[in-house]
Amino acid sequence: MSVGYTWVQWNRHKRVYDAVAAVSAAAFIAVYMLATKLAWSGANAYSDEVALIRSTGACAIVLLHVILCIGPLARLDRRFLPLLYNRRHLGVMTFLIALVHAVVVLGYYHGFGVSNPLVSLLTSNTNYGSLRAFPFQVLGLGALLILFLMAATSHDFWNKNLSPALWKRLHMLVYLAYALLAGHVALGALQNNRGAIGPVLVVAGAGLVVTLHLAAGWREVRRDRGHETVTDDGAEWIDVGAPEEIPENRARTVCTARGERIAVFRHNGQVSAVTNLCAHQGGPLGEGKIIDGCITCPWHGWQYRPHDGCSPPPFQEKVATYQVRVLAGRVQVNAAALPPGTLTRPATLPERAHA
């Protein structure tokens, strides 16, 4: 939410977030390298380059798991929202650590030879038909390119200029990167270092990511159910519930037959409805709150006025609004979205409902 672009709109939270993330990543790499040195010393010592390759690779994978878990965790429990606020910086950090891993691999394993290192990377092993001998490094290269694409377009400048929808699709490639990295690890490190710990960690990590996503999705599906639809003069009205069921300054979310989610907010004795999708990154506005009279997205704090879906001046973002009415003690929302920024009349609640 900005009227101009700067590299980073720093604030105290972002500084603390980045400092904690950087120190944690550095501690991870240091602990991994230290443990390697303590476990294998003297004649059995590991090469420093190999320890660095393994520690940075492991660190990047762990960070990617954290990134993928933050989204569903924040949906399931709002106390995780602070981790989501600056997730893009975590993504850029993951790319940079993965880049260090790749550069050391390229120099150490593919340098000093008769071929250009990149040519060696792509041609030294072409056993694509064998799982045992599969060139796993190519999978890592594919994941690194995706992480680069995401890091390079992580700024809001690209979100605005690519359009939030395209930007979102582009950044959903993180799941492809994750799949490629799972293959990279399974066909590389796990084949190299046989033992139970590696496979257990990979399966546990994937299990955690999948379980959290399923849990968050299941919660959404359950919430979408049970809202009746009535047709009135050709218009579809979705039952939201009794006014008392919507907490003050909070929303209840309903889903249309077309799968569009609507966030219905209660505030100052009135009810207004906007799309559940924030114009920024598609954050769930219905899980946000009205602060200073504006609907505030839980992801990055973008704000919209409840009655017209417009960000307060000087900001210019707009989201779709919906007509709302209160009929027979029930709040109903019209399933037809109005163009972003359309002024609507909030439904006024009876006295007892907002007492």
Partner 1 sequence: MPDRETGADELYVGYLPVPKGQRRFLRLGLPLVLWVACGATFLWARSQHSPGTGAWDQGQPMRLMGVLVAAPYPMLFAQGPDGHAECVLLVEVGKHGGRHDAAVLDGRRVAASGWPLHRDGRRILELEPQDGALSAASDAGEGPVAPPARVRVGTVTLRGEIMDSKCFLGAMKPGEGKTHKECATLCIRGGIPPMLVTRDAAGNATYTLLESPGGGRLDEEAHAYIADPVEVRGELFQQGDMRILELDAKAIRRL
Decide: 235 and 336 in contact? Cβ < 8 Å.
yes
When the beta carbons of 46 and 315 are compared against partner 1, the nearer one is: 46
How open is the CA angle 108-113-115, to the nearest 5 degrees? 110
Decide: 184 and 143 in contact? Cβ < 8 Å.
yes
C-beta of 212: minimal distance to partner 1 in Å? 14
**Which one among 6, 8, 22, 127 touches partner 1, defined by CB under 8 A?**
127
Q: Does 137 bind partner 1 (CB under 8 A)?
A: yes
Decide: 346 and 306 in contact? Cβ < 8 Å.
yes
Site string for partner 1, 251-290 (x = CB under 8 A): -------------------------------------xx-
When the beta carbons of 130 and 268 are compared against partner 1, the nearer one is: 130
Q: Does 45 bind partner 1 (CB under 8 A)?
A: yes
Q: Does 348 bind partner 1 (CB under 8 A)?
A: no
Interacting span for partner 1 (CB under 8 A) from 44-52, 171-179, 306-314, 326-334: 44-52
When the beta carbons of 187 and 238 are compared against partner 1, the nearer one is: 187
Closest-CA residue to 264 (of 231, 282, 242): 242
When the beta carbons of 280 and 326 are compared against partner 1, the nearer one is: 280
- The pairing of beta strand 235-241 with beta strand 321-322: unpaired
| 3-state DSSP assignment of residue 288 | coil
Site for partner 1 in 24-43 (CB under 8 A): 24, 27-28, 31-36, 38-40, 43
C-beta of 56: minimal distance to partner 1 in Å? 12
Site string for partner 1, 1-20 (x = CB under 8 A): ----------x-xx-----x
C-beta of 325: minimal distance to partner 1 in Å? 26
Q: Does 164 bind partner 1 (CB under 8 A)?
A: no
| 3-state DSSP assignment of residue 34 | helix
Partners of 254 in beta bridges: 262
What number of other Cβ atoms are within 10 A of residue 303's Cβ? Answer: 21
Tokens of 309: 């879906």
What number of other Cβ atoms are within 10 A of residue 36's Cβ? Answer: 18
Distance, in Å, from the CA atom of 154 to the CA atom of 24, rounded to the nearest integer, reads 22
**Which one among 96, 109, 307, 341 touches partner 1, defined by CB under 8 A?**
109
Packing angle, helices 197-224 and 174-186, rounded to 10? 160
C-beta of 261: minimal distance to partner 1 in Å? 16
All residues at 6 or more sequence positions from 323 whose CB lies less than 8 Å from its CB, including other chains = 273, 333, 334, 336, 338, 344, 345
Interacting span for partner 1 (CB under 8 A) from 133-141, 143-151, 235-243, 270-278: 133-141
Site for partner 1 in 191-230 (CB under 8 A): 191-195, 197-198, 201, 219
Closest-CA residue to 304 (of 288, 323, 328): 288
Q: Does 87 bind partner 1 (CB under 8 A)?
A: no
**Which one among 3, 4, 114, 351 touches partner 1, defined by CB under 8 A?**
114
Site for partner 1 in 165-194 (CB under 8 A): 187-189, 191-194
| 3-state DSSP assignment of residue 270 | strand
Interacting span for partner 1 (CB under 8 A) from 121-129, 174-182, 253-261, 263-271: 121-129
Q: Does 77 bind partner 1 (CB under 8 A)?
A: yes
Phi, psi values for residue 347, rounded to 5°: -80, 135
Q: Which amino acid is at 301?
A: G
